[in-house]
Structure 1
Amino acid sequence: MSPNVAYNNSCAEHISIFSVCMYSFISTVGLVFNILALVFFFSQTKSRSQTIVYMTHLAIADILLILTLPMRIYYHLGSTLDQRICEVLGLVLKANMYGSIFLLTCICFDRCMAVSFPMSSRVQAGRKKVPWICLGIWMLTFGASLPIYLTKRNYVNNTECFDSLPVYATNPVVVFPTLIVGFGIPLVIMLICSWGLVRAVQRSSVAQTNLVDSGKIQRMIATSLLIFLLSFLPYHTILAVLSLYKEDISCPMRTAYRYSLMMACLNTVLDPVAYYFTTDTFKKNVDMGTVRRMFLLNSQSSDVNRSRMPNS
């Protein structure tokens, strides 16, 4: 065994137990939550909105990611895996993680458009293309990930598997497009849409007349954004650091990468809490808000006349 391999193994030993516990928790809870979500989504045959379509694909992406974790648990328990199996599992995890990021961005953008422009025919026409958008996301994430793993490489040691850093974590040619397209642009879109959504809710007539709980909607928006940042910001920050120090990656940096990857995987548990289990509340608030705004506009003249009458 080479000194470098021994160094990598000693660096990974102290987090193996934590990795097993963490991935076991994510696999169990995440799988149950997302399967329950899929059962609910597929049962909504009569009232399947565009957001439900996005969330269905998001739950599928989360489940596919979760299905790669048992092999990670198996490896961290002391077993060995063929390097090609490790790379296939890494490909599936990476593609579905970025699929989740893109789908979360689309959900935020869709909500912003639906609330900010509820009567726009162009927005409604665009929302009908959601299935094609989801198909494009699947093709993009797997299509962009495949070339990285199809590159032929000479393996120094086939027993490192998940203890070695993936090629996309140390190659600047891969890292920078990943940081910009896979995280930077989605983050900017989510920040802008979240801000626009909060302003639209605050300015709505139903919020100003307390017909809906605007504070609850705003807290839900803030929670969703916070979960996104907590899940994916550490991982992409570590990727940026690794690309700068690719020739001298220390043990603490490798450990930080593994912890940040666990945080990214934990998003599969947090997604149902932030999105699926609040869908019904959000839908009622938004739909009722649109109806009530229309009702208030239609009855504006009668309200004005009524306000002119003397109080009894």
Structure 2
Amino acid sequence: MAAKKRKKHARPTSLSYGRPLFAQKPKATLSSDATRHLIRTHHTLQKQLAKAIKDGDTASAATIEAQIEQQGGLKSYQQASIEGQSPRRGGDTSKQLIDWLKETKTIISGRKVQLKMLEIGALSPFNACSRTDLLDVTRIDLHSQHPKIEQQDFMKRPIPSSDDDKFDIISLSLVLNFVPEAIARGEMLERTTEFLRISTRLDISLLPCLFLVLPAPCLQNSRYMTEERLEALMSSLGYSCKKAKYTSKLAYSLWKLTGTGDSAPLFPKAEINPGKSRNNFSIVLC
């Protein structure tokens, strides 16, 4: 049985704020430092814009929108995002997912049944997941410009009516951190549980699972989040952490949905790591 429903909240802002458009042939002209700076700046401005819109501050919103355009708008941000995840820079996060699936023999040569996977916020249809015929991948993004990526907001995707329409794997790689509001991040994580199928169709202990990738500072240098708090929050949704890996930049984790979530624990925004140098990333469940 899936986790109990929590009280629904009106989403503070559209998820379309923050996610980049997809460029079919981006030019690799940015250095690594310039790429990181552009992404960080755009992310900060998008959060400020979302807050201004939420507060009804049209003057500030117009000023922030002008700043975004001055640094190249979504087009430049999109190029930086794709360049940052290019194979040339070792940025294809789906390689880690494939490695874990192979390591646990979740996907092995000779298996006749494909695993259904939903990739949310897909930037390219040509990542590591596309290079195995053992995965049947559905790719969605808010601003797709490629025929192999469906243009769709995950928060508006219809809830599957049967197990046949659900997935064995969901990928949420560098997406959650672009959602502007902490409550909306919690709602997105909670909604993933309704798209994963818990069945005996495949005798694989790792499935169904959620592949989650966040910038490492979201958990290692936040005032409001830690690895332990994320694990407690995910446990309340019915997830159990099966794999985790940190690099200097990213936090990878793989979560199995057990279906034994508890709606009792609430996770409001609460400071647990004070410090002027820390960031404000948080996830709220209420």
Q: TM-score normalised to the size of structure 2?
A: 0.24
Higher-strand-fraction structure: 2
Q: 1 or 2 for the larger relative contact order (CA 8 Å, sep ≥6)?
A: 1
Structure number with larger C-alpha Rg: 1
TM-score (ref. length: structure 1)? 0.23
The structure with the largest helix share of the pair is 1
